[in-house]
Structure 1
Amino acid sequence: MDHDHVRDVDPAVADALEGELTRQEETLAMIASENHVSRAVLDAQGSALTNKYAEGYPGARYYGGCTYADEVEQLAIDRAQELFGAEHVNVQPHSGTQANQAVYFAMLEPGDKILSLDLTHGGHLSHGHPANFVGQFYEVEQYEVDTETGYIDYDQLERLATTFDPDIIVSGYSAYPREVEWERIQEVANDVDAYHLADIAHITGLVAAGVHSSPVGTADFVTGSTHKTIRAGRGGIVMTDEEYADDIDSAVFPGGQGGPLMHNIAGKAVGFGEALEPKFQTYAEQTVANAVALGESLTDHGFSLVSGGTDNHLVLVDLRPSHPDTTGGDAEEALEEAGIVLNGNTVPGETRSAFNPSGIRAGTPALTTRGFDEDDMREVADLIARVVDAPDDDSVIESVRSSVDELCAENPLYK
């Protein structure tokens, strides 16, 4: 992989691009929302479609010259429909947040009510945080996980729905290690005459592969990211029934954004095509198996996992019981120095700032893409434990860095 054309024009940017590629090749990417796409997806996203404006939808554009843009977008739509069994799919949102925005703008009025999972309990900014547009345009109430079990408190959700009377209930998360009971939330939404938006941003690939339960066909709307566990072009997606198709399409364009990023949609089409291959299910199954192995090994090292384990691609570690003087930020910084890249994260019952929280979140999608298996993940857990046990010990950092180098060499990113 080279950047010769960039270097000819802009050496500074070429240096940064090559530095980033080297960083990815020589570190363990364990941020749960990150993954490594194939060369085919990279090529599609860097294609000549970046030059094309294609406002509108296939067969109904506001510009000429959209023959191939139409073909690519329709391929992305058709493949997503096959992957998820959705009646209607919109692949134009630039991100998962803009996919959520489309649903809100299509179905709600300013001041309407949203019931969603609290950010510190695993929710997402676009589900109702006051710093996000959602918290500014709508009235938001939030349910939580049970701080003792780490599982969503569905009884509390039901009580809040009854008293708060939301217009829409949002399910899904950014840091929740268990499966969501979509049907139970849908029943609550039906009881209070609310819409149900299921945000599967993190688990899009796991749902597509059938290794995580699907809300498609249960929830009124399903949104997601297209680059995390599914390894397609970076962006968002909205899925719904034909009943709401026109409303959603209008909320995406022209309601929330202008010209679609056709090169990203090409990346989505290629990635969805890859996900339709049998080997993608093997990948998704290994991703979950790796997360389980990572969680079990971290537990063996004395770490406390929120909910006691995981059903998906991530583990959430509460450092307070085992390392009360170490914050998530401290751990993140020391681990990155050792070549392990994950993030500090809030945990249920958080007592610190979100900028320097009490937990760390680690995911397995990217390492699984590189070929890591359960034995590798147990070694990675050991390396994480060594660093977090002695975050200020330079000799430990150096030793772990050496082990990371060996693991990266054994599992090259782009062979």
Structure 2
Amino acid sequence: MPATRASTRDPGAPAAAEAATEATAEAAGRPRPVWEGGFEALLRQDPELAGILAGEARRQADGLQLSAAENFTSPAVLAALGSPLANKYAEGYPGARHHGGCELVDLAERIAVDRAKALFGAEHANVQPHSGSSAVLAAYAALLCPGDTVLAMALPQGGHLTHGSPANFSGRWFDFVGYGVRRDTGLIDYDQVRALARAHRPKAVVCGSVSYPRHPDYAAFRDIADEVGAYLVADAAHPIGLIAGGAAPSPVPYADVVCATTHKVLRGPRGGLLLCRAGLASRIDRAVFPFTQGGGQMHTVAAKAVAFGEAAGPAFTAYAHQVVANARTLAAALAAEGLTVTTGGTDTHMMTVDVSGLVLDALTARGRLAACGVVLDTCGLPHGAAPGLRLGAAAVTTQGMREPEMARIAVLMGAALRGEGPGGAGAGETRGTRGTRAAVAELVAAFPPYPPYPDHI
């Protein structure tokens, strides 16, 4: 609701700045909404934190953001996150809250649920999980009892912490058995998955990974789960955005429960999502609230609704397919630079690479790339190999980069890893890093993710 000028006054704000703010609103012929000009309010109230926000915005804009788990949300998603819905406590579900005053946030959540169901063709959706791990926790709580056996991808082969890490709730509460990938191809060994399922008779089979660059065979997983009477849980945190855009196969027709995140390729806020069959809806909802969480974060729920709406349009479909095209181009170009791309390429937004052929370890490689403005992650590689690098094309595709830029990125990465100048001529590590950093800055300057913050902050 629009606020009066008096209600927007910040008691600690300098009078001149406050007067200028109000004059702007008056010139536009309208009262100033309480959330408009949020950064300006932060700058007046807490310049130290405002400087950190502005610095992070510049960091994101000044380098190549190649983390497979990150993306740039739209301004509309950011607006929902910074809205007055952040003030509302709303334990429970629409029409059955434990707090008063939830009529409007009920509408926002219903919109988010309906959009998620339509986008993914699901019978039921729960949009309240605070993260992907929260979504997985709720799925396990709905389907399993402590001590049950679960078959999932082994962590050294690419599994997530929630797939049985002893440091995570999953490894402490359940008996996990790990499957892996073939040594010769790097692809999931479905014969091993079936053999392990027959031997251990798990209560649930989990398909999904944090670093597998190929599409899982959901039909094969469904067949294996049915053979042993197990639930099938799809952890689609990484591919869910590609699924939304029709650029990856969907687990929804096969899995009993699909767990996902709403950031990454989907370009929504950081948060989780659960999709399931109608028969499991009440169990899933009770597992989220009240079993594993309290009130939903309604500003995030609204931002999820915005992202689902954006993902339902033709522009997002084109985006998702361009992400895959860019990732394939980048993977092939990195191979040409002397890096070993696992599985020989990618079907998704991500790839993993072995840098040992350049006589580097993964941490050193990541450091050299970071010094040149290239941000990505390290990851484990299967079968006892030294750790490698994990990177993705989602964020740079959001910025508008296409195949020619992917080829250029690979060349710059090769130069950074070898300590050369961006043209490939050996120039010593210091000069090579400086030149490659300048070339990265020149590339990203043509593709700004957001309007810049003022330089003086």
TM-score category of the 2 structures, normalised to the smaller one: over 0.9
| Pairwise CA distance, 1:390 | 2.5
Matched-pair contact (CA < 8 Å) for 2:246–2:317:
yes
Alignment equivalent of 2:48, drawn from 8, 12, 17: 12
Amino acid at match of 2:402: D
Amino acid at match of 1:296: A
| Pairwise CA distance, 1:6 | 1.2
- 2:90 matched residue in structure 1: 54
Alignment of 1:90-105 (within 5 A): 90-105=126-141
What is the percent sequence identity of the aligned residues? Answer: 44
- 2:407 matched residue in structure 1: 378
Alignment of 1:200-279 (within 5 A): 200-279=236-315
Alignment equivalent of 2:389, drawn from 360, 363, 372: 360
Amino acid at match of 1:332: R
Query: In 2, distance between residues paired with 1:156 and 1:207?
Result: 26
Alignment equivalent of 1:153, drawn from 177, 189, 193: 189
Question: Which SS does the other structure have where 2:310 is aligned?
Answer: helix
| Pairwise CA distance, 1:2 | 7.1
Query: In 2, distance between residues paired with 1:122 and 1:375?
Result: 30
Structure 1 residues 207-228: Cα deviation after superposition (integer angstroms, max 9, x where no partner): 0111100010211110100011
Structure 1 residues 161-213: Cα deviation after superposition (integer angstroms, max 9, x where no partner): 11111110100111011010001001000001110000110011100111100
- 2:117 matched residue in structure 1: 81
- 1:355 matched residue in structure 2: none
Alignment of 1:292-331 (within 5 A): 292-320=328-356, 322-323=357-358, 325-331=359-365
Query: In 2, distance between residues paired with 1:157 and 1:393?
Result: 46
Amino acid at match of 1:371: G
Question: Which SS does the other structure have where 2:167 is aligned?
Answer: coil
| Pairwise CA distance, 1:350 | 3.0
Residue 112 (structure 2) pairs with residue 70 (structure 1):
no
| Pairwise CA distance, 1:359 | 0.5
Bigger relative CO (Cα 8 Å, ≥ 6 apart): 1
Larger Rg: 2
Q: 1:311 to 1:394 in 2, by over 3 A?
A: same
Query: TM-score under structure 2 normalisation?
Result: 0.88
Question: Which SS does the other structure have where 1:187 is aligned?
Answer: helix
Amino acid at match of 2:332: E
Matched-pair contact (CA < 8 Å) for 1:69–1:262:
yes
Question: Which SS does the other structure have where 1:224 is aligned?
Answer: strand
- 1:338 matched residue in structure 2: 372
Amino acid at match of 2:381: V
Matched-pair contact (CA < 8 Å) for 2:355–2:365:
no
Query: In 1, distance between residues paired with 2:290 and 2:206?
Result: 24
Amino acid at match of 2:336: D
| Pairwise CA distance, 1:119 | 1.8
Query: In 1, distance between residues paired with 2:153 and 2:173?
Result: 17
Residue 178 (structure 2) pairs with residue 142 (structure 1):
yes
- 2:423 matched residue in structure 1: none
Query: In 2, distance between residues paired with 1:29 and 1:373?
Result: 14
- 2:28 matched residue in structure 1: none
Root-mean-square deviation (Å): 1.2
- 1:350 matched residue in structure 2: 384
Amino acid at match of 2:79: D
Q: Any gaps of 5 or more consecutive residues in structure 2? A: 1-36, 421-427, 452-457
Amino acid at match of 1:365: A
Question: Which SS does the other structure have where 2:264 is aligned?
Answer: coil
Alignment equivalent of 2:398, drawn from 353, 364, 369: 369
Query: In 2, distance between residues paired with 1:15 and 1:8?
Result: 11
Which stretches of structure 1, 4 residues or more, deviate above 4 A after TM superposition? none
Amino acid at match of 1:12: E
Query: In 2, distance between residues paired with 1:142 and 1:265?
Result: 34
Query: TM-score under structure 1 normalisation?
Result: 0.96
| Pairwise CA distance, 1:118 | 1.4
Structure 1 residues 232-272: Cα deviation after superposition (integer angstroms, max 9, x where no partner): 12100000011000000000000000010001111101111
Matched-pair contact (CA < 8 Å) for 2:322–2:397:
yes
Matched-pair contact (CA < 8 Å) for 1:215–1:222:
yes
| Pairwise CA distance, 1:351 | 4.1
